[in-house]
């Protein structure tokens, strides 16, 4: 496992344990972070902290790493199995997504999500399918 792979696996482990401050410490102060819930981005450590604090009051995402790659722009591309549950443990969404990290001087400067729906769109699609 490369140093970036181990760095990112540690990040995912901390995320699954809801260790927000551990993850925040691995980001540049001016980080640009994809908002997987609604779309768009949040900027800076404080906005990422607020984003996750708010998110964890509504849903419980769990991420399992499946594959690590490096793309042509030297970004780390991680394929993850993402399961989103409500606070009662019911599965709201289950998908495989690519998460893309730009790491500069040992800290995350940019986090992007590959071509996929937002978490809200995934949840709505599942609800619609269940209603039919």
Instruction: Kindly indicate the confidence band of residue 119, based on its pLDDT and cuts at 50, 70 and 90.
Output: low
pLDDT of residue 126: 66
Look at residues 119, 103, 116, 124 and name the one whose alpha carbon lies nearest to residue 26. 103
Write down the pTM of the prediction: 0.87
- Residue extents of the structural domains in the chain: 3-131
pLDDT at 47 over 70: yes
Look at residues 18, 9, 30, 37 and name the one whose alpha carbon lies nearest to residue 110. 30
* pLDDT one-digit tens code per residue, 58-99: 999 999 999 999 999 999 999 999 999 999 999 988 989 999
CATH number of the 3-131 domain = 3.10.450.50
């Amino acid at each position: 496992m490369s140093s970036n792979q181990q760095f990112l696996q540690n990040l995912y482990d901390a995320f699954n344990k809801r260790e927000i401050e551990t993850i925040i410490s691995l980001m540049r102060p001016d980080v640009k972070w994809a908002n997987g819930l609604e779309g768009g981005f949040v900027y800076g450590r404080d906005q990422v902290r607020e984003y996750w604090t708010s998110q964890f009051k509504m849903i419980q995402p769990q991420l399992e790493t499946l594959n690590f790659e490096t793309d042509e722009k030297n970004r780390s591309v991680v394929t993850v199995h993402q399961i989103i549950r409500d606070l009662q443990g019911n599965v709201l969404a289950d998908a495989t997504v690519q998460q893309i990290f730009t790491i500069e001087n040992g800290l995350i400067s940019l986090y992007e999500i590959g071509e996929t729906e937002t978490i809200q769109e995934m949840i709505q699609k599942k609800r619609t399918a269940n209603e039919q």
